[in-house]
Amino acid sequence: MEAGVMGDAIVVQRGVSAPAWWITGVALFAAGIWGLPLIESTQFENHFFGLFYYSILAGIVLFWALPSEQRFENGQFERRFCLLGLLVLWKKTTPLSAFSEIHFEQDPNLFRKDTVWVILSGTGDEGERFAFANFSATASNMAKAQALAEALSQATGLPIKTHESAGLAE
């Protein structure tokens, strides 16, 4: 076990645990049903547009069906992509020793609240970076990001760069 790691601590951030993932799934299902008249029609033109509609919908469903999951377990950070959040299709593992701090980064958005990222960084400009989670920059989500960073800090022993020193707007 690496220095600073507390026991068998596990911290997980899953895409399928967000209500937006489930709402999007229901909306995609509804979009699939909505397009049925295109392929059930007797006109060739409708079949062509139906094929186009469902091919685009299939691409969107593919991205939706592969949510990411980030976790820290046994001194390793791991990013996985799972089919419907259940079957692991791809994963990348990075050791804790590649990182030296936990900090926050804020990306501006034009049409909605900014996005706040919980990031793990290595030393120097060329150090390893690992985006553990992202949140919409609301007061409640900032508290969630802070709580997640604190859980990661306790599990890993890495220090947290605070909101004030990271320059985040509340």
Average pLDDT score, the chain: 82
Instruction: Extract the tokens encoding 47.
Output: 């079949």
| 109 and 78 within one domain | no
Return the pLDDT at 109. 83
- Mean predicted confidence (pLDDT) in 89-108: 86
At 54 the three-state DSSP class reads helix
pTM of the model: 0.70
Lowest mean pLDDT among 56-60, 109-113, 138-142, 161-165: 161-165
Q: Of 70, 95, 120, at which residue does a domain stop?
A: 95
pLDDT cut 90: percent of the chain above it: 16
Number of structural domains found in the chain: 2
Q: Domain range for residue 128?
A: 99-157
Judge whether residue 124 has pLDDT over 60. yes
Taking every pair of C-alpha atoms in the chain, what is the biggest distance, in angstroms?
69
